[in-house]
Amino acid sequence: MIQFLKDGGVIMIPIGVASVVGLASFFERLWALRREKVVPRAFCVELVELLRQQRWADALMHCKKRDVPIARVVEVAIEARGESRSSLRERVEEVGRREAMELERWIWVLATVASVGPLLGLLGTVSGMITTFQTVEGGGIGQMQSLAGGIGMALITTFAGLVVAIPAVVAHRFLLARVDDLTVDLEEISLGAVNLISAASHEAPEPTAAAAGGAPS
């Protein structure tokens, strides 16, 4: 394996760096995009129950105790209760967009690795072919070892670039799909919270004439 990497030439260094960076970003996002880190099920069940019971202080404290996106989104809605439903929804959507962007953090690294990998492989291919043609030009047609070295470098770097790029593409699509799923859950739960808060804010009956100052004479 060491000899294989050496035969690829200096281009194998950036290809190796790209593979390490891509792998690190994938595992970082895989850990960060666990459901328990975004929309923990037990937390959401308890939160919805508190909102249904209109225990606003308890619900707000429940959100402040958990550093997860759904808690930060619903916290804004609870603090703004009493406003119109459209206003609540705008506030929630604004915070939700920021949280969704945070979920996609570092995913662009995988996309970059997927794009750069084949280009680095192509660069190695061109370098290897240049070496081969220089050998031929120098009258080294009979020097099969030199010719094989240039051709080998061209093929090895192309192979290495594709080996890095293909998993990066798959990982990138996988993480984007996971972000989409979590974003949908985030939207559903937050909008459900907005509906509960809005309904509770407008369910109080209008004051009657007697309550306002007695029945009219």
Q: Tell me if residue 33 falls in helix, strand or coil.
A: coil
CA distance 127 to 13: 14
- Residue spans of the domains in the chain: they are 2-200
Cα 46 to chain centroid, rounded: 26
How many CB atoms within 10 Å of residue 191?
Answer: 17
Neighbours of 106 (CB within 10 A): 14
Extract the tokens encoding 21. 């960076």
Predicted confidence (pLDDT) per residue in 145-194, tens digit: 666 666 777 788 899 999 999 999 999 999 999 999 999 999 999 999 99
Predicted model pTM: 0.80
